[in-house]
Amino acid sequence: MSDIIQLLPDHVANQIAAGEVVQRPASVVKELLENAIDAGATSIKLLLKDAGKTLIQVIDNGKGMSATDARLCFERHATSKIKKAEDLFNINTKGFRGEALASIAAIAHVELKTKEKDEELGNQIKIEGSKVSSQEIISTAKGTSIAVKNLFFNIPARRNFLKSDAIETRHVIDEFQRVALTHPGIEFLLHHNNNEVYNLKNSNLRKRIVAIFGNKMNERLVPINEQTDILKIEGFVVKPEFAKKKRGEQFFFVNDRFIKSSYLNHAVINAFEGLLDQASHPSYFLYLEVPPNSIDINIHPTKTEIKFDNEKALYAILRATVKHSLGQYNVTPVLDFERDANLDTPYNYTKKGTPSIPPISVDPNFNPFKTDSNAQSVIPSNESLSNNSRSNNNYSSQYKTDYKKDNSSWEALYTDTKFNIDLNNITSDPMEQEELFESNKETETGKTFQIQKKYLLSTIKSGVVLIHQSLAHQRVLYEEFLENITVKEASSQQLLFPVTISFSSSDIEIIYSIKTDLESAGFMFEEFKKDSVIIRGIPTSITESQITLILEQLLDDIKMEVPDTSFSHFDVMAKSFAKSLAIKTGTILSLKEQENLVNSLFSCKEPSSSPFGKPTFKTLSLQEIDTIFNK
């Protein structure tokens, strides 16, 4: 029997390794940016074409490479950061495995230009599918420029798995933001299809966060700062009132490296206990610094997952630190919910001394038994007694009336709105009680009832139907918006004063990409700026105060959506509008509003489910109800 095991050719092995490191254009961006940071660059430019499918170019002003290093860096397991196995547990750099450039060169056309600081000329290398096509001496700027063209040109199957340009651009921007947030002292520039997306100057951490996510983020940040023997924590958390329904800006950095950790995320969420609405997620930018030998970052090819030696201690410190900062900056609510703010000590009195005791003046010559001829007699006459008695009786009568009125008012708070019953007149006789309830029963003919400000109960011929008021309203609004956008001509209302809304640069780009669709829905835009948009018209179905809420919800839905080539923004817009404007749980509805919602729901084309696939109502037949009581 012949041998069947054989060594793989180098180009096949490189392509297999590339599959672990390079999953999409964003993977290439991450590796190239990290290499530029390791080279000591203070200014990094990222140029993209077609979401990185056609071109990814990173230009830095780092220390550059010699001719030998430029050729050797594309070999597998070639690195300048590790010399022995022990070095794996004392890593302070980004790339160290020596597989990134080799993997990228195996599945793309790569052109490298580099020059060291003290050299007059640099070197240029061109590689196509792991094969060096040319190497020559050229005149170039100090640092390194590496261009990756035609990604996955020799693996068509991998290229076909890439998503649309919008989705791939979103992933690239995510990686760019993670690297830029880690190093606020480095200038970053991002261009996509010759359009400037980010131009981040050298700054501190807070300014870098604001530059990436917009000016609105500045007032939302709560600083975090704590240092212990095993952990140093810096960064910011976002105030609870700005928490999002979907995971938004959640960033963990350990030793200047972005990581994902559900364990540490749980510690932060635990610190927000009691401050967040149900199903809300806090945003945070937390930088952890630990000894390099206490973590293992070599457990995943992308190095986004690491292992800690003392996870439980880190969990406790992180949770306590976040909780302390929320309390220190008066984010957590006070325990006295009936506190009168008017009784708080003003700021200008906080440093005053203790109040002085007021002086008491005493007249030593005062005699209470001395009579004064000008004063009234201390012994009242019969007439005065009679007058006083009548006055006191009137006062007592008035007081009793007011007191009784007060009694009725507080008792009304505990009385069912369907029955107006005087609790003072309830007797112990069952017959009299029945007559009392029958006489006070509300005479309205409506068949709809609201339960716990969340559900509507309506009677039908075969039994009853239980309706979720929020999900039902979402279905009604969704079909109305979808019809207005696609079938009817959307009507728009002109704003008296245009509204300016701040967003991050990447969010502005997303809004601009769906500008035509938003205009079809009734929005009218006056101007798009780098970090804001001016709106001069909105759909007639929304109010000016709802603009920000709707657009933020729309952006979240677009970012979280994983569409195919037939993806339509109209559907996402209609869903976002419906979710934003639908009545929420806890809203009290009048009888007329309840009936209108029920009638509108069953007039929809698909009344049984919400736009997101959740059931809107549940029917109970008389047989099912009888079964409950006949068990």
Domains of the chain, by residue range, sit at: 10-202, 213-328, 416-444, 465-617
CB of 267 within 8 A of CB of 232?
A: no
Residue 398 pLDDT > 50, yes or no? Answer: no
Query: What average pLDDT does range 590-614 have in this prediction?
Result: 87
The more confidently predicted of residues 85 and 244 is 244
β-bridge mates for residue 533, sequence order: 501, 528
Q: For residue 170, which of 551, 568, 562, 559 has the smallest C-alpha distance?
A: 559
E-strand ranges in 18-117 read 43-49, 55-60, 109-115
Confidence tier at 369 by pLDDT (50, 70, 90): confident
Size of the chain in residues: 631
Residue 111 pLDDT > 70, yes or no? Answer: yes
Question: Which tokens hold the place of 75?
Answer: 């070999």
Q: Which amino acid is at 209?
A: I
Return d(Cα 388, Cα 382) in angstroms, integer. 10
Residue 353 pLDDT > 90, yes or no? Answer: no
Q: Say which residue the tokens 């038994």 belong to.
A: 369
Residue 439 pLDDT > 70, yes or no? Answer: no
Query: What average pLDDT does range 401-410 have in this prediction?
Result: 46
Residue 564: predicted pLDDT: 39
CB of 277 within 8 A of CB of 309?
A: no
Burial of 532 (0-12, 13-18, 19+ CB in 10 A): middle
- What Cα–Cα distance (Å) separates residue 516 from each residue in 504, 549, 570, 600? 20, 20, 10, 30
Q: What is the Cα 225 distance to its own chain's centre?
A: 22
- What Cα–Cα distance (Å) separates residue 412 from each residue in 415, 423, 437, 452, 482? 5, 9, 16, 19, 45
CB of 324 within 8 A of CB of 225?
A: no
Q: Which amino acid is at 384?
A: S
> Which CATH architecture is the domain 10-202 placed in?
2-Layer Sandwich (3.30)
Considering 96-100, 325-329, 449-453, the range whose residues carry the highest mean pLDDT is 449-453
DSSP class of 255: S
Confidence tier at 576 by pLDDT (50, 70, 90): confident
Radius of gyration of the chain measured on its C-alpha atoms: 36
Residue 14 pLDDT > 70, yes or no? Answer: no
User: In 3-state terms, what secondary structure has residue 124?
Assistant: strand
Q: What is the Cα 222 distance to its own chain's centre?
A: 15
Q: Which amino acid is at 263?
A: Y
Q: Euclidean distance between the first and final Cα of the chain, in Å? A: 72
Count CB neighbours of 143 within 10 A: 25
Q: For residue 115, which of 147, 132, 139 has the smallest C-alpha distance?
A: 139
Helix or strand (DSSP H, E) at 459: strand 455-460
DSSP class of 427: -
Residue 343: predicted pLDDT: 52
Q: What is the pTM of this model?
A: 0.63
Residue 204: predicted pLDDT: 93
Tell me the helices (H) and strands (E) count for the chain, helix number first. 18, 22
Mean pLDDT over all residues of the chain?
Answer: 78
The more confidently predicted of residues 187 and 82 is 187
Helix runs in 22-147, H state only: 25-38, 67-72, 100-106
User: In 3-state terms, what secondary structure has residue 236?
Assistant: strand
Return d(Cα 182, Cα 257) in angstroms, integer. 7
Helix runs in 463-588, H state only: 469-486, 505-513, 515-521, 547-560, 569-581
Q: Which amino acid is at 388?
A: N
Confidence tier at 434 by pLDDT (50, 70, 90): very low
42-77, pLDDT tens digit by residue? 999 999 999 999 999 999 999 999 888 888 888 876
Residue 561 pLDDT > 70, yes or no? Answer: no
Question: Which tokens hold the place of 192?
Answer: 């996509």
DSSP string for residues in 314-358: HHHHHHHHHHHHHHHTT-SPPS-TT--GGGSPPGGGTT--PPPPP
Question: Which tokens hold the place of 541?
Answer: 């179905």
Question: Which tokens hold the place of 572?
Answer: 């996402």
Residue 303: predicted pLDDT: 60
Percent of the chain with pLDDT over 70: 74
Percent of the chain with pLDDT over 90: 23
CB of 572 within 8 A of CB of 580?
A: no
Q: Which amino acid is at 233?
A: I
> Which CATH architecture is the domain 465-617 placed in?
2-Layer Sandwich (3.30)
Return d(Cα 557, Cα 298) in angstroms, integer. 34
Q: Say which residue the tokens 């020559």 belong to.
A: 136
Q: What is the Cα 224 distance to its own chain's centre?
A: 18
Question: Which tokens hold the place of 464?
Answer: 């009853």
CB of 67 within 8 A of CB of 40?
A: no
Return d(Cα 45, Cα 57) in angstroms, integer. 8
Is the CATH code 3.90.1300.10 the one for domain 213-328? no
